[in-house]
Amino acid sequence: MSLIDSTRLKQAALKARDHAHAPYSHFRVGAALLDDSGAIITGCNVENATYGLTVCAERVAILKAISEGHRKFLAIAVAADSPTLTPPCGACRQILWEFCGDIPVYLVNLRGDEREVQMAELFPSPFDRRQLL
């Protein structure tokens, strides 16, 4: 039985999306990361005119959480306004795997669509510490 309040987590991701800085693509994304104490740490995408310096919502949430001392994560929700649900990009999948492992990922959009997927399904052959031993 899961102790994850996915409704609360998805709502936090949708709210975080409101803070996105996406003046170029207008593709606003929010993320909400749940740690083992029940704290929810949010992030939003922050674009830059060069695009290459843009930081995705998922990475903002992870980096913010790590910088605030959080270390064990149970789930993440990602919210975007797109007709299809938007999973994390490749770079975010790598960071999520590194810091979270095989956690549930809740995908939501503004139309009310949602899906739960495990990180291992999104990232079946991760590069991690096992390759460095």
Number of domains in the chain: 1
Write the pLDDT tens digit of every residue in 60-97: 999 999 999 999 999 999 999 999 999 999 999 999 99
In a domain, 41, yes or no: yes
pLDDT of residue 1: 35
Q: Who contacts 96 (Cβ-Cβ below 8 Å, separation ≥6)?
A: 58, 62, 76, 88, 103, 105, 119, 123
| CATH code (residue 113) | 3.40.140.10
Catalytic, 116? Answer: no
Catalytic residue chosen out of the listed positions 58, 98, 114, 116 = 58
In a domain, 1, yes or no: no
Note the pTM of the prediction, 2 decimals. Answer: 0.94
What's the domain range around 17? Answer: 6-132
Closest CA to 107 of 133, 132, 73, 84: 84
